[in-house]
Structures are given as C-alpha cells and as structure tokens.
Amino acid sequence: MSTVKNYLSLVKFSHTIFAMPFAMIGFVLGLINNHLVHNNAIDKLIYLSYGTKLVLVIVCMVTARSAAMAFNRYLDRHFDAKNPRTANREIPSGIISAENALSFIIGSCILFIAATYFINPLCLYLSPVALFVILFYSYTKRFTYLCHLVLGLGLSLAPIGAYIAVTGSFDLLPILFSLSVVFWVSGFDIIYALNDIDFDQSQQLYSIPAIVGTKKGLRISEVFHIVSAACVIAAGIYGGFHWLYWIGVALFVGMLIYQHAIVKPNDLSKVNIAFMTANGIASVVFAVFVIADVLIN
C-alpha cells in the first residue's frame, strides 16, 4: 500500500483535477454531437458501449498524465536534488529509484496506447503525437521560457481528445475549450514558477518569471488568463449554451481573478493556494455547470 502511495505522490495524482473535468466536458459534447443525449429510444447496449468508452477515456487521462509527470520527475531528478524545495521528492530522496520510475513511465505509455486502440483508429493514430507533446514538455525548461505554454498544450489535449474518443472527428467547440485550457494552465504555471525564480536563474533554467521577474511574470499570467476567459466566452456564444453555462463561466473567471488578487509581487505566501485550490475549484465547478447546462437544456 505504501508503494502505491509513493507512486501516487510521484505523479501528484491530485493534480489530475486540473484536466479531468475538461475531458468530461469534451466527452459529453461528443455524446451531444452523436445525438446520444435526450434519446430515450436508443438501445441500452449502445449506452453501455459509451460507458466503456468513458472508462477508456479516464484510463487514457490517468496513464498519459502519470507518464508525463513521472517523466518530468525522472528527467529533473538532479535539479530536484539541488533545490531545497524539491529535494524530498521521491526520486532524489531515494523513495523510488530512477530505474523503477522509468519502468513506470514506459508501462504508463504502453497502457495509454493500448487504451486508445480500443477507443477508435483516430485516437490510436494520434496517441504518439499526444505522448510526444506531454513528454516533450519536460525538456522545454532547459531551452525556452515558453515552457508554460507547452505544459498548457499538453493538458489542453484533454477536451479535444475525449471528444475525438466519442465522435472520431474534430470540431471547433472542443477546440475552443482546449484553447482555454492552454492559456489557463500556462497562466497558473507561471504563478507556480514564482517559487523557484532564484533556483532557476542559478541553474540557467528557463521560465517566464526567471526571465522577466516576478512583477512582469504576474502581468503575463494575467494576460494569459484573460485570453482563457475570452475562449470560454467564445465557446459559450458559439455553442449556444444557456444560463447554467454562464454561471459556470462567472465562477471560473472569478477563480482566475481571485488567484491574482492573493498573489502579489511582494507577497508570494499564497502561491500554492492560488495554484492548487483556486484552479482545482475553477475546473471542477466550471465542468459541473457546463455539463449540467448540456444535459438540462
């Protein structure tokens, strides 16, 4: 049991709360596109098949994110050992060996690809692309301050990926949600990077705060979050959503505003609250209202 707990800690399983709700939005939008909601005459076996597909989407989410996070920890293990804030992480502290972490990464990637095989051919064909994006992020901090956007891109695959799992095709509406995720995640990752400005600079690692400083970094984060808010508004207009959706938008935007209100250039004591609590609430609450709007109206 302790081994399972260690691996859950390695991949920060609780952070699944960021992308999983958006995957559920994409999945429900796919059902709507396939006319599988509000159709009482549909055969129960078809519902069952989509229930199985939902399980496979969740497996893909968990395995892909686990592979990405474990790979990040594996690749950064030497930096983590030097950083007082991260020295107690599982690999540098010896709780999990680098070799076992690598085996875990490979196993997660294999399970991810296997799950896409049982979803549909397009998901299978795109699975190497998805893995490349989410694993490539771990290298980006070594050469570009745009690493935050690459992380956002990785998590943004959740809504469009879930939509493709149901429909086998692309559509503008889930892409708008994916764009929102790109800038939402990029914005709060900049806030989280404030924890390591001095360390990143000392190790010649790239991040927006390390390049432009705390104050300008927060301003860029604000701009990203404004773009994210604009994307969910555009999605609401394009998708013809109703009042529940707009309550969700108001709450989502409210959480964006809240995290910028509590993190100041001269006071970074609430960075972790802004990173985990505010954004965790934002994603879950927003998804609940979006899905409720789709199912009720």
User: What pLDDT, on the 0 to 100 scale, is given for residue 46?
Assistant: 54
Quick one: fold of 2-296? Answer: Tetracycline Repressor; domain 2 (1.10.357)
pLDDT for residue 144: 96
- Relative orientation angle of helices 98-117 and 44-75, to the nearest 10 degrees: 150
- 264 strand-pairing partners: 267
* 294 vs 221: which has the higher pLDDT: 221
- Cβ burial, residue 98 (10 Å; 0-12/13-18/19+): middle
Q: List, for residues 140-183, the tens digit of each pLDDT value.
A: 999 999 999 999 999 999 999 999 999 999 999 999 999 999 99
Total-model pTM = 0.93
Per residue in 47-103, pLDDT tens? 555 788 899 999 999 999 999 999 999 999 999 999 999 999 999 999 999 999 999
pLDDT value, residue 45: 47
Q: What is the pLDDT of residue 16?
A: 86
Taking alpha carbons only, the member of 292, 289, 285, 223 closest to residue 18 is 285
Q: Which among 22, 46, 15 is positioned nearest to 161, based on CA atoms?
A: 22
Output the pLDDT for position 114.
Answer: 97
| Helical spans, DSSP H, in the chain | 2-10, 20-33, 44-75, 77-82, 98-117, 121-140, 147-167, 172-193, 197-202, 208-212, 214-239, 243-262, 271-272, 279-296
